[in-house]
Amino acid sequence: MVIKDEHGMAVLVDAVLFLAALSVISALMCVPHPAEEADETQAMVESFHAVMLVGETSGNGSALSQTDLASFLVLAAMDGVMSEEEVTHLDQASSGTLREANGIWRKVWWVVCIGDEERLFGQSCDGREDVYADQRSLGYGVVCTLYVSI
């Protein structure tokens, strides 16, 4: 013989629904939001690029090595083109940051545009990954962009 306690069943269903809703809300509060992670990644990329540009370029003792990277880029842009020597210097100056960033993100590359000329340092991605970028205009037609893919 089966006795149906409809009131009891209703309370039980209410309780289960309440707990299910509570669980969903708790899960939403505990799980990190993708938007926050994206913001953190973007902030980190901007921070990397900012530090990279204000750091001195290399330790070879020359006068140019004692300028920060942003100033070096502006100096390089004065004549409108980048010489191979300047490109080599930029390659050396950016290698530390790119190597460091490669340990954090999948691929990292830095693009320098002076006028119509564009140079890429590092290794770019194939376009199927999420990419974050920080672009800076330094004046005199110099635009540099640090890209990372995750």
Binding span for another protein by CB under 8 A among 7-15, 76-84, 112-120, 121-129: 7-15
**Is residue 21 involved in binding another protein (CB under 8 A)?**
no
**Is residue 78 involved in binding another protein (CB under 8 A)?**
no
**Is residue 55 involved in binding another protein (CB under 8 A)?**
yes
Backbone φ and ψ of 40, nearest 5°: -65, -40
Site for another protein in 81-120 (CB under 8 A): 95-100
Which residues 6+ apart lie within 8 Å of 147 measured at CB? 108, 109, 110, 111, 124, 125, 131, 132, 133
**Is residue 50 involved in binding another protein (CB under 8 A)?**
yes
**Is residue 17 involved in binding another protein (CB under 8 A)?**
no
Binding span for another protein by CB under 8 A among 49-57, 70-78, 114-122, 126-134: 49-57
Token pair 């376009």 is found at: 127
Q: How distant, in Å, are the alpha carbons of 5, 43, 45, 131, 132 from that of 146?
A: 67, 12, 7, 10, 8
